[in-house]
Every structure is written in C-alpha cells, then in structure tokens.
Amino acid sequence: MKKKIIIQTAIVTDHKLILETDESITGLIPSEQILVDSDNSAFIYLLEDQEDYTYIVLAEDLWSYLKTANELKLPVLVKSNQEQIELINFHDELEYILSNIKGNSNYGDEFVTKVEGFFLTV
C-alpha cells in the first residue's frame, strides 16, 4: 500500500502556497504527476523515493487554496517541520487533469459535477 500524507493546513504566504503536514517528507522527490481519487473527492500529487510513491492527498477542503494558487501561478510547496519540497509542474498537471475531468463520467458524475462547479466556472 502506498504511503499517504494528509495535509493538515494550507496557507498562502510570500507569494506561494504552503501545504503543511506533520508527517516526514525526508528523501522524497516530486514525480511531477497528479492523480485523482474521485471516491474521496481528492487530487493526489505523487512524490517518490527509491522504492515507492508517496501520495500527497489534496482533499476537497483544500480546493480553494489550489484554485487560488493555480489562478495566480503561485509555487506550491509541501512542508514538514523545517523541510519543504516544491511540487514541480503542479499547475500544468492540475490544468491537464481538470481538462480530462470536464464532462468525463469515467471519474463519476458526482466528482465531475463538484470539480466543474468549483474549478471550471467562469
């Protein structure tokens, strides 16, 4: 089973989005990929080490921060204690996944409706 890191808080500060967790991120590097957990209404940013992937869970309660960061093209970082990792290619990946979700019932109608209503309204 893949390790999941839950983000406790998110803040926009100094022109960047900081996603904070209590779990260790030591030795992890960005894989530059976002997946979807439509059952739990979450986006998953992948970090990796030499052995496996670690999922950074970006639950629905964080979506407003993700939307702001995406609109302003703010760097997105995950932080644990004094360590932080920039989630490289975050905006391109989010835009790509949002374009795939739009109108695509393969993600589940409820999730598609949530994402379209939140991220894709003008």
The residue ranges of every structural domain in the chain are: 3-119
Please give the pLDDT value at position 120.
84
What pTM value is reported for the model? 0.92
Task: Identify any residues that bridge with 79 across adjacent strands, giving them in sequence order.
Answer: 20, 84
Between 61 and 121, the more confident residue is: 61
The string of pLDDT tens digits covering residues 86-116 is: 999 999 999 999 999 999 999 999 999 999 9
**Does residue 121 carry a pLDDT above 90?**
no
Six-digit token string for 44? 């998953």
The stretch 11-37 carries a mean pLDDT of 96
Q: Where are the beta strands (DSSP E) in the chain?
A: 3-6, 9-13, 16-20, 29-37, 42-48, 53-59, 76-80, 83-86
